[in-house]
A and B are shown apart, each in its own frame.
Chain A
Amino acid sequence: MTFFILQVLPYIAVMIFIVGMVWRLCRWLKTRNVHNVVLTPTPKTSCGVAVRYVKEIFLFRSLFNGDKSLWAGAWIMHVTLAGIIGGHIVGFAFLGQQFIYMGVSADTSVFLSKLLGTTFGVILAVALLYLLYRRLSINEAKLTSYFADYMHLILLLGIVSAGNFMRLVPGYSVGFEVPKIYMIQLATFQPVTIDPLMNTAFIIHLLLVQILLIIFPFSKLVHLVGIFVNRLTVDRSYVEPAPGMPVANAGVSVGNAASSGKKTT
């Protein structure tokens, strides 16, 4: 079983994730923006639209303007999650020595790497717990939630808890080198040499991540891509036609018909 989780399932999970996401994106891009359904007031220039787009996607602007507590929970959750995913890539690749390039010693770098990872991990767990609590306690959230909505949070909590367990409980840490070697072996299609019995927490962590990857393209988690596509639909620039009506005996200019919006069908 552990052999399957360590050596076989990763390939299946990654394949399903990639193919699934490409399929989902193609399915969305095959649809059309038939009418102009921009949300106003809208920026006048593409530059303004780009600023709005970045604010919406990376700062959750609409949520911030509406519900500060949900914004706090959701934004912190997403930012720490992104930080942790980035930390996994950089930390394991550089064996925790990435901060050397910022001018600190190798020991300090490893210390910083561990500190950041642990802090983010704990904050992420708290944020996820808050989101779960919110779904269970606020009536409107309960009315809109399905079983799957709770399960997604619980799955993420499981992954994060296993990760935090390895960080915080002495003796369960896998260090930097073991995962790095394991990843290289997987990526180069070699048999993995990791000891299957060495660390149950690691196996659980890995298994849950693979389950997440497999369900990702077939769940609401695709909102990761959806937000990019949908925001392009409702946040667009719009140039108003020139005002001023023709007057019988004066030369008030009339606006240009072509400026009033592109044909989209």
Chain B
Amino acid sequence: MSVNKYTAPAMAKEKEMRALSIIPVSDENKVKEALKHLKHLVRKFRPLMLAMESCTKCGHCAENCHTYLGTRDSNNIPTNRADLFRKAWKATHTLEGRVFGKLVGAEPLTLDTINKMYAYFYQCNECRRCALVCPFGIDTCEVTFAGRQLLHWLGMVPSLHASVGEAMYRTGNHTGLPKPGLVDTCEFLEEEILEESGVDIKIPIDKPDSDVLYIPSSADFLLNPETMMGAARFFHYLGINWTMSSAIAEAGNFGLLFDQRYTLRFNTMRLLDEVIKLNIKKVVWGECGHGWRAGKMYVPSMTDRPVPVPIVHLHDETAHYIRTGQLKLHPEVNNKPITLHDPCNFSRACNLGAKLREVLNPCVTDFREMTPNHERNFCCGGGSAILFDDPGMYDLRIKFSAKKAEQIRATGIGENGDGYLVAPCSICKAQFYPILEEHDLGVQVKGLIDLVGNALYPPINI
């Protein structure tokens, strides 16, 4: 393995890559292989081709990218990040690049550039704010997707992503929990709910002949138990015949983040198999940003069979039941000052921005919007699971979230140290747990369904 002079996450070892059925390419062959993949990818994907050939380098994306705002590193300007790819494309596949070279921004691919790609494509949160502000709609997220795909084929994947991918193959969830672990956790959470709200609510796993398959983020079993309990309360309240599946107890799909071929498809097919096995009528996705993007936008284009049932998001449903007046909510139990962080994938890729507010408003008493919001919101800084703990990368996570901290501070919710930041996305939550402390904001992270659950079944001991 080459030593990377750029700040980059720890890379998966050969053994870890082999677990993903990839044999890492040796340094001598990397450039040759990369050029082959580059050609294949750019010729296939239209958004990528247009990012390569129709950017005017106006620089409008710079001030709109929180990674650039946080680091002022010119490689983190979206169009310059795309240049890591574009330079090589121009040098090998365009007339102007071959004739004028550097004058038009063409540069032959080198091993150094590949190392630089590994560093900077894993410093991109894939939040698509650059696509939103680009006058042409050029989506640098697509370039990052392609870049990470190419790196995956070269065997260059962060240890974090590779181990999550491997856990998913093995167990059907990212945390690597086997079925007994899931069942135990659910029983424990059932007791918690009974204790907190005095209601006996079941959290079923693999219950045959269920109507609704709930796809939780596996982090909700361990890190965000309140989100799991909130969802259980919601389904119980409506009398839904629901279950989760031990084979796909995972809303996330890291295939979207590092391998949009086999890994993305494998997880997708796993879901469809389970739908048939449990005789499901509707799939409801839990609070996970990139996972919902994969579920909503990539399932239709990745599956090898027609999708047999509708797939919707939990908050499509909560919004619907609130709109039709079927939920009796007690907003007074959520009386802390609250702001909402729009997960990038929800607001810019999945059309959920307005619905999140439809759900949040009737559940709380003191809701304050942060600015900008909805689809103009800034990313938490952990997007696309760059939740690395390596010292250099952790430092970058703090810098990437600087803009977010500024937004939260401006709402004033943390002034008394008891504010709630609602972030209905597992990666956002995982980023915020440590990062809110780092910025000393006096704010706690909550999921959205947590608050709905509380408002449906008010705690008995308050």
Contacts and interface: CB of A to CB of B under 8 A. Distances in A.
A241 B56 contact: no
Interface string A237-257: 010111111111110001111
B317 A245 contact: yes
A231 B62 contact: no
Interface residues of B, number: 83
Interface stretch (A97-105, A142-150, A163-171): A142-150
A39 B104 contact: no
Select the residue from A223, A247, A264 with max chain B CB neighbours within 10 A: A223
A13 to B, nearest CB: 16
B191 interface: no
Contact of B132 (A62, A229, A230, A254): A62
B46 A149 contact: no
Interface residues of A, number: 74
A193 interface: no
A223 B59 contact: no
B282 interface: yes
A66 B60 contact: yes
Contacts of A238: 351
A41 B296 contact: no
A144 B80 contact: yes
Interface stretch (A1-9, A25-33, A84-92, A114-122): A25-33
Contacts of A248: 211, 239-241
A246 to B, nearest CB: 4
B149 to A, nearest CB: 12
Contacts of A144: 57-59, 62, 77, 79-80
B47 A230 contact: yes
Nearest to A220: B56
A46 interface: no
Nearest to B79: A144
Given A28-B46, A223-B54, A260 B311 contact: yes
A65 B137 CA distance: 13
Contacts of B46: 28, 31-34, 229, 233
Contacts of B100: 148
A242 B74 CA distance: 45
Contacts of A15: none
A67 interface: yes
B31 interface: no
Interface stretch (B10-18, B302-310, B398-406): B302-310
Interface string B42-55: 11111111100111
A225 B300 CA distance: 29
B135 interface: yes
Nearest to A257: B310
Contact of B300 (A30, A229, A260): A260
Interface string A57-77: 000101101110010001000
A190 interface: no
Interface string B88-104: 00000011100010111
Contacts of A56: 135, 137
B317 A143 contact: no
Interface stretch (B179-187, B199-207, B217-225, B342-350): B342-350
- Most chain-B Cβ atoms within 10 A of its Cβ — which of A28, A35, A257? A35
B353 interface: yes
Nearest to B128: A39
A138 B74 CA distance: 13
A262 to B, nearest CB: 7
A31 B41 CA distance: 10
A220 B54 CA distance: 5
Contact of B54 (A147, A230, A234, A263): A230
Interface of A: 24, 27-28, 30-42, 56, 60, 62-63, 65-67, 70, 74, 135, 138, 140-141, 143-149, 215, 218-220, 222-223, 225-227, 229-231, 233-235, 238, 240-250, 254-257, 259-265
7 contacts: A27-B49, A39-B128, A40-B347, A241-B316, A245-B284, A248-B240, A259-B310
Given A63-B133, A222-B54, A230-B47, 6 more contacts: A31-B49, A32-B46, A40-B350, A144-B57, A146-B102, A246-B241
